[in-house]
Structures are given as structure tokens and as C-alpha cells.
Amino acid sequence: MDDKFMLMIPGPTPVPESVLLAQAKHLIGHRSGEFSEIMAEVTAGLKWLHQTKNDVLMLTASGTGAMEAGIINVLSVGDRVLVGSNGKFGDRWVKVCKAFGLNVDVIEAEWGKPLNPDDFKAKLEADTDKTIKAVLVTHSETSTGVLNDLKTIADHAHAHGEALVLVDAVTSLGACSVPVDGWGLDVVASGSQKGYMIPPGLGFVAMSDRAWQAYETSNIPKFYFDLGPYRKSGAKNTTPFTPPVSLFFALQVALKMMQDEGLDNIFSRHAKLQTATRAAMKGLNLPLFAADEVASPAVTAVMPQGVEAEKIRSIMRKQYDIALAGGQDHLKGQIFRVGHLGFVGNRDILTAVASLEATLAQ
Ligand code: PLP
């Protein structure tokens, strides 16, 4: 692998050189004033990115750890939850909920299709006793390249009861707007190796006031992921345990880059990359797995016909130094996925498309 290697997968995503270099700095103590200054700055940056006044907490974890932390801090054993699943990561929500003894009602859609908000509405309307404690949704379903209609689902949850809205925003945050306050999202989980443009290792959980109220009565055992101490320490710009200090250096630089670019520009850049990638695939006669209207701005899934997806990935990797993602679970070998999330620009897509064209010509 050389410096021309291109990581066109939906995470880990490419990391800008200035961010890579920031991590090379000598470590500082996490109880120092210098660290607290960084923590204050990145906390403000995270709130800006989440478009929220809520707490946004940082954990030493991947995205799944952030999802788990969300669940175990606002729910109790036996609680009934409504989980949307139309891919690998919707299934992840289901698995984590079951692992902690929740009573899971799954709303499914075929992989490659979006969740139907009406299905949520019907279940919530039928729940006249208000037994549903939470609605869990994957915003951008990375395994299929589908963006679910989170806003409408959240609106239904608010209109029909008190259910908390828990969101996996792992590949939507930093790619499209996730207005946490505007949409009333109670728990929002994400991970550093995606739109944040930094390496894996930090998980983020945004918690609303309603989520904190639910925390008070949550009886699921927890220790390292008990968010109470993170909130308490966070108020003093410190962390309860030793944080990955170098990743904080990286996050500081990456958030500054994002703020310099501006939210609207970040979202329109991703929208353009998405449109360009999809247009190119159509031009190459490569069938897209998700329809245009529900496509994720972070990743495009392609289901080639007559050519093996894995052969395409292998040629792209070996001859053109470009990594594409494969399919997951039953889609293994059926699809490949082009990531266009985070530190990705026009030239990356043009290079990937040209290489793909040359690959298909072989
Ligand atoms: N949710 C979504 C939508 C994802 O794309 C991923 C990772 O790809 C995860 C959850 C899990 O994140 P992690 O692998 O960081 O635990």
C-alpha cells in the first residue's frame, strides 16, 4: 500500500493529513488544563455538528458501544421497544436490545428498501396503553445504502405517546442533516471513523433531557458505559476514565475543518458525491441496490449483473489501489459498496469511476 491508496469504504473513512499529524503530538495528561481546553472546544463542536443543545458524550468505543450505551442508560429490563430493521445495522439494534432483556417488536423492511413510517404509526397508534418505551431507528443503513425517513418516524413517535427516539446516526451524521433538537431525537449514537474524518476509537452519544429523565429509572446494570459519570465529568471538561487523548487531538482538528467548511457545504458536498456516484454507475450499466429517492449520502450499493462483485473489488484493490466494501450477511458476494463519506471529494469519485470502468472492460 502506498500513499495513493484510496479507501472508498463507508468506514473507516480517509483521514486528512492534518488530522493524522495531530495525533503524532506528544501526549498530555487527561487531568490537565490543556486537555480540558480541548475537551471544551470539541464538546462545543460536537453540539454544533448534532445541531443540539443536548449533552453529547464521548466514549472510548466504536459505534456499537455508543448504541449499547444509549440503550442501557434509558431503558429497563422487560421494556417494550419498537425497532426498525432493514439491514445489518437495524439487526444490530435488535441484537443489542435482546442482549439486555428488552421486549423487542421488530418492524422490518426488505434489505435495499426503506422502513415504512406508516408501520411505526400503526404500531404506536395501536399501543393505547403506552407500553412502547422507545423507537429505535438506523438513519443511514450502511449495509444497503438506504437512508430511512427518520424525521417522519420520529414525528409519529412524538405524536403517539412518550416513546423515546433512539437513533443510529453512525453514517448519517456529517453526511446529511441530523437536527437532533429540531427532530426531537432523544439518543443519537455515532462513531469517529465515519463522517468525523478521524480514526476509529471514539463513540458519541447525544442525550436529550427526556433521555436523562429516563436514565433516573433505568435498571439495566452498567458501569463503564454508565453515562451519569460522563455527564458529571463533562460539565468540568474532563472524563471519568482515561480517554484516547490522541483521538481528541484528531477530533479537535477535524471538527475545526468541518466548521470551516460549514454544515450546509458539507451536506451539499455529500449530496453531489452521491449524485455523481449514482449517475456514473447508471452510465456503466451497473444496477443500483437502493432507489434514488431513498439513497444514502454516505454509501452507494451496487448489484452487478453478469460480473462477480468480489472480482470487481479484487481488481480495484490490486490494480488500482482502491478499496471498495463488499456485501454483508446474505449480500456477501452479491453487491459492492462505494463509500463517499467524510474526507472525500470530486477527484476521488472520478478516479474510482474511471478505475471501475477500466475494471469492467477487462
Ligand atoms: N451502525 C451503522 C449504520 C454502521 O455503519 C456501523 C459500522 O459500520 C455501526 C453501526 C457499527 O459501528 P462500529 O463498527 O463502529 O461498532
Q: Provide the mean pLDDT of the chain.
A: 97
Q: Which atom of ligand 1 is nearest to the CA of 66?
A: 16
CA of 89 from ligand 1 middle (Å) equals 7
Over pLDDT 90: what percentage of the chain? 98
Convert the pLDDT of each residue in 4-31 to its tens digit.
799 999 999 999 999 999 999 999 999 9
Closest protein CA for atom 5 of ligand 1? 142
pLDDT at 343 over 60: yes
**Residue 235 pLDDT:** 97
Mean pLDDT, to the nearest integer, of 313-333?
97
> Ligand 1 mean position to 190 CA, how many Å?
8
The reply, when asked if residue 278 is annotated as ligand binding, is no
Tell me which long-range contacts 304-309 makes (C-beta under 8 A, separation of at least 24): 304/335, 304/336, 307/360, 308/333, 309/333, 309/334, 309/335, 309/336
For range 68-72, the mean pLDDT: 98
Tell me the ipTM for this assembly: 0.99
Cα separation, 85 vs 87, whole angstroms? 6
Q: Residues with Cβ within 6 A of ligand 1? A: 11, 62-64, 89, 92, 138, 140, 142, 168, 170-171, 191
46 CB neighbour count, 10 Å cutoff: 21
pTM over the 0.95 mark: yes
Per-residue pLDDT averaged across 164-171, rounded?
Answer: 98
CA of 191 to the centre of ligand 1 (A): 7
Residue 70 amino acid letter: G
Q: Is the pLDDT of residue 2 over 60?
A: no
Q: What is the pLDDT of residues 264-274, one digit of tens each?
A: 999 999 999 99
Query: For residue 220, what pLDDT band results from cuts at 50, 70 and 90?
Result: very high
| Alpha carbon nearest to ligand 1 atom 12, residue | 63
Query: What torsion do the CA atoms of 67, 73, 77, 79 make, to the nearest 10 degrees?
Result: -80
- In the prediction, which pLDDT does 4 show? 76
What mean pLDDT is predicted for residues 251-275? Answer: 98
pLDDT band at 1 (very low <50, low <70, confident <90, very high): very low
- What phi and psi, each to the nearest 5 degrees, are found at residue 12? -60, 145
pLDDT tens for residues 109-139? 999 999 999 999 999 999 999 999 999 999 9
| Ligand 1 centroid from CA 151, angstroms | 20
